[in-house]
Chains A and B, each alone.
Chain A
């Protein structure tokens, strides 16, 4: 009489889905961190205007004793316009998938769409900054490319330029504490970069890893450390321009921002929405298919070109 072994069982009998779904690769969403959010109210057109008054020059000449009035100052301002666009994505799921699959497809479909929505928003701001911000090539490194690897002199030059433009810091300093291996952190601007730069940053003299901060309070999980006056956030979807340096190497754009350098416009009455339409509504005559979707309205823009610098670097050879 034949013995029943695992080899004689069918595939279905031999497979069991693990109770816990594996994690989805979820990037750190860093590009909207420094942005100032404003709302475009309903019924107010399709463009929001940010207005920045132009500061007045100091009046250095004394009035004297003649009683004459000095020249008057005039009021001027600069307008920055931003026009939101609408974005969305969706999927159609047959009712039999929901009925028969044991992996709860609606659950992870919802999770995936939510991640897609937020990654879309993050990538839009990244691409906007990539397109519109002024840049400085890293120089002084050893890579031999016109955009060399990042050095502390590059970071210092960025900080100096932002300070010279009266940009405001994004992060307050962290006071020193009596803890081994830590040191106080100065007031800093925020830098947003790709995770590929983590090694180069650690190898840069003057770089302070986040673990050396005297306090981890209010430090985002994306933060890698501080170089000069820049606190650096890293993400796997940071900006990268493939094969674009003079020597054909990848170029990494590090967005260095002060406060209020970037703005985001939300459309009033149209927040990001996750939409589930059951088969009884979306499924046609036979009520067979459900739909899951997201849609949102979004635009980000640079509010002050003097308060953001795109530092371009290649990797250390």
Chain B
């Protein structure tokens, strides 16, 4: 018997993910808002079936004068399968032209692909910034085919050309390790990470700080997270741990010539039984999921802000 799933959502104007653990062979959406509203060139219905290219759709577009519906095949901006257990490493993009020495480094490039703020990229072979190579970064402000920022990275000496790969999925297991980008010393220690973290107050973390980062006093210490997301001045992707680092050597990234090192890391280490957060749920578990991603926009299935979208996904029994 075929599996049919249905549902609806109000568009946020952003790409929308629908979990479909049974898989799907066909998916259709109806934009209820544009169906009844006047206006030309807006997508009303979208259709995708197994055999069609990923990212494509058949779009039924409202015509200008008659309000009739006309079909069109769109190669992009449609439906894309999503399985976060697949290989997360995307294709190589070689169009980076520069990385600035701003407090929040700005990466200039000629092709941003489909990157949006919040995506994760892995930088590769950055001339003048080799210390960033092979490391993942959550990106911030993104300007189409012009630039993106390394939202949580420390200031660096300006670099030039290089490449990146988009990391398409979050790590398969929670809680995952993270690379440290900055450390602010004090009676408690504020740690910023290159990729958005998902740690919670009460969790224990072990800190790995190789000699290349100077602050070796922090290496191997375990701390309890006492606050999350305090600002470091430029980023709120932080944890505050109960380690007094007042007298510690300053944390400093290696420079481009010192590129053979191990990055500094935060590694989840459980929970202290003395923690006040008695029912803290930090169990190791699998967060992989599969489904479909609906592109957003006037001519895409997830629509624009406020659009009411109804969807039906079908899995045949063959």
Binding site for B on A (CB under 8 A): 47, 51-52, 76-83, 85, 92, 124, 127-128, 130-137, 139-140, 146-148, 241-248, 251, 299-302, 305-306
How would you classify the secondary structure of chain A's contact residues: helix, strand, loop or mixed?
A: mixed
**List of A residues within 8 angstroms of B89 by Cβ:** 241-244
Q: Is the CB of B122 within 8 A of A132?
A: no
Q: Is the CB of B273 within 8 A of A139?
A: no
A242 to B168, alpha carbons, bound, how many Å? 13
Write the chain B residue with the least CB distance to A92: B317
Q: Is the CB of A299 within 8 A of B284?
A: yes
Q: Is the CB of B173 within 8 A of A78?
A: no
Q: CB within 8 A of B133: which of A83, A128, A133, A245?
A: A245
Given contacts A78-B273, A82-B283, A83-B285, whether A139 and B267 have CB atoms under 8 Å apart is no
**Within residues 260 to 295 of chain B, which ones have a CB less than 8 A from any CB in chain A?**
260-263, 265, 267-274, 281-286
Offer 5 A-B interface pairs, CB within 8 angstroms, sorted by A: A131-B171, A135-B265, A148-B260, A242-B87, A245-B124
Per-residue A-contact encoding for B66-95, CB less than 8 Å = 1, 0 else: 000000000000000000010101001000
Q: Is the CB of A246 within 8 A of B133?
A: yes
A76 to B274, alpha carbons, bound, how many Å? 7
Judge if B26 is at the interface, Cβ distance under 8 Å: no
Give chain A nearest CB distance to B88 CB in angstroms: 9
A301 to B269, alpha carbons, bound, how many Å? 11
**List of B residues within 8 angstroms of A136 by Cβ:** 262
Q: Is the CB of B130 within 8 A of A146?
A: yes
A245 to B123, alpha carbons, bound, how many Å? 9
Given contacts A81-B284, A133-B267, whether A243 and B272 have CB atoms under 8 Å apart is no
Give chain B nearest CB distance to A36 CB in angstroms: 14
Give chain A nearest CB distance to B278 CB in angstroms: 10
Q: Is the CB of B206 within 8 A of A306?
A: yes
Q: Name the interface size band of chain B.
A: 35 or more
Q: Is the CB of A137 within 8 A of B87?
A: no
**List of B residues within 8 angstroms of A246 by Cβ:** 124-125, 130, 133-134, 259
**List of B residues within 8 angstroms of A140 by Cβ:** 260
- Which of B263, B268, B283 has the most chain A CB atoms closer than 10 A to its own CB? B283
A124 to B285, alpha carbons, bound, how many Å? 10
A313 to B230, alpha carbons, bound, how many Å? 35
Can you name 9 extra interface pairs (CB under 8 A) apart from A242-B87, A300-B284?
A77-B272, A127-B172, A131-B172, A134-B208, A137-B261, A140-B260, A147-B134, A245-B133, A305-B268
Give chain B nearest CB distance to A203 CB in angstroms: 20
Q: Is the CB of B134 within 8 A of A245?
A: yes
**List of B residues within 8 angstroms of A51 by Cβ:** 273
Give chain B nearest CB distance to A20 CB in angstroms: 31
Q: Is the CB of B267 within 8 A of A248?
A: no
Q: CB within 8 A of B92: which of A47, A248, A305?
A: A248
Write the chain B residue with the least CB distance to A284: B1
Per-residue A-contact encoding for B17-50, CB less than 8 Å = 1, 0 else: 0000000000000000000000000000000000
Write the chain B residue with the least CB distance to A78: B270
Q: Is the CB of B206 within 8 A of A247?
A: no
- Which of A82, A128, A131, A243 has the most chain B CB atoms closer than 10 A to its own CB? A131
Q: Is the CB of B260 within 8 A of A83?
A: no
Q: Is the CB of B261 within 8 A of A146?
A: yes
Write the chain A residue with the least CB distance to B254: A146
Give chain A nearest CB distance to B128 CB in angstroms: 13
A36 to B284, alpha carbons, bound, how many Å? 15
Q: Is the CB of A79 within 8 A of B125?
A: no
Q: CB within 8 A of B173: which of A80, A128, A139, A242?
A: A128
**List of A residues within 8 angstroms of B259 by Cβ:** 146, 246
Judge if B163 is at the interface, Cβ distance under 8 Å: yes
A299 to B284, alpha carbons, bound, how many Å? 8
Given contacts A78-B269, A241-B89, A243-B92, whether A146 and B134 have CB atoms under 8 Å apart is yes
Give chain A nearest CB distance to B160 CB in angstroms: 15
Judge if B315 is at the interface, Cβ distance under 8 Å: no
**List of B residues within 8 angstroms of A76 by Cβ:** 272-274
Judge if B8 is at the interface, Cβ distance under 8 Å: no
A8 to B269, alpha carbons, bound, how many Å? 73
A148 to B130, alpha carbons, bound, how many Å? 14
Given contacts A76-B272, A139-B261, whether A247 and B284 have CB atoms under 8 Å apart is no
